[in-house]
Structure 1
Amino acid sequence: MGRMAYTILVADDEPAIRTMLEVILSADGHDIVAVSDGKSALDYLREHTPDAMLLDVRMPHMDGFEICSRVKRIKRLRDTPVLLLTGFDDDQTRDHAKLVGADDIVYKPLSGKNLRGRVNQLIEARRR
């Protein structure tokens, strides 16, 4: 019996990173919805409830912190795992991520295997 296919929202303003995330995550058979900014992410979330979200911390219009804090205030989305994607491995970023309720932080450059494991683990933990 294989893994279930999940829907994962990916928001990153860099096309190369979006593509890389799509390739990494779709390797497990997941459906990836990729958007280029925070506004598009929120537009998608108005109508849909993904199984997980991967949000870049730095994006135009609205950053990953802001999207995460909004998502965690919406009952329907509150339990959806949010992973923040950042190039900054520092206390300030970690503290801010905790403050907005992020479930995990993923640091660039990405390790595909590590990322897939963490995403699947977070989703499956919520499913139990």
Structure 2
Amino acid sequence: MGGMAYTILVADDEPAIRTMLEVILSADGHDIVAVPDGKMALEFLKEHTPDAMLLDVKMPFMDGFEICSRVKRIKRLRDTPVLLLTGFDDDQTRDHAKLVGADDIVYKPLSGKNLRGRVNQLIEARRR
């Protein structure tokens, strides 16, 4: 591999999924910051600019859609790729994701290889 090591923010309220995402994404040597809810995601984003974000759509305090729409309104974070994570593969979810400016949607159950490829692709596209 030997690509760059990126910082990826992962927000999901299910510990098992957080752990799985950390394992999948750190396989490429990335630094993963995993938080259990939207409030903590925003706290982290106040101080840091990650290379990508993976946000669960359904979380306590604030859902992934809401975080994404806030992120896209902040100049410093606007170009950071946001992937929304959801168990719902339907038009409503897709439309909502588009509306808030998400860069991609990842459906559960996750395919690790597919996810790693998409995350790396989105980050690298932004860096060109």
Query: How does the TM-score come out when normalised to structure 1?
Result: 0.99
Quick one: distance in 1 between partners of 2:72 and 2:46? 13
Cα distance per residue 1:44-68 (max 9 Å; x no partner) = 0000000000000000000000000
Cα distance per residue 1:75-110 (max 9 Å; x no partner) = 000000000000000000000000000000000000
1:51 aligns with 2:47: no
Quick one: distance in 2 between partners of 1:22 and 1:99? 28
Q: How many residues align?
A: 128
1:27 maps to 27
Q: CA deviation at 1:118?
A: 0.1
Quick one: distance in 2 between partners of 1:26 and 1:64? 22
State percent identity of aligned pairs: 94
> What is the RMSD of the two structures over their aligned residues, measured on CA atoms?
0.6
Quick one: distance in 2 between partners of 1:109 and 1:26? 18
**2:95 match: secondary structure:** helix
Quick one: distance in 2 between partners of 1:51 and 1:103? 13
**1:73 match: secondary structure:** coil
Q: CA deviation at 1:35?
A: 0.1
Q: CA deviation at 1:74?
A: 0.0
Q: CA deviation at 1:17?
A: 0.1
Q: CA deviation at 1:2?
A: 1.2
Q: CA deviation at 1:38?
A: 0.1
Quick one: distance in 1 between partners of 2:43 and 2:7? 16
| Structure 1 residue ranges without an equivalent (≥5) | none
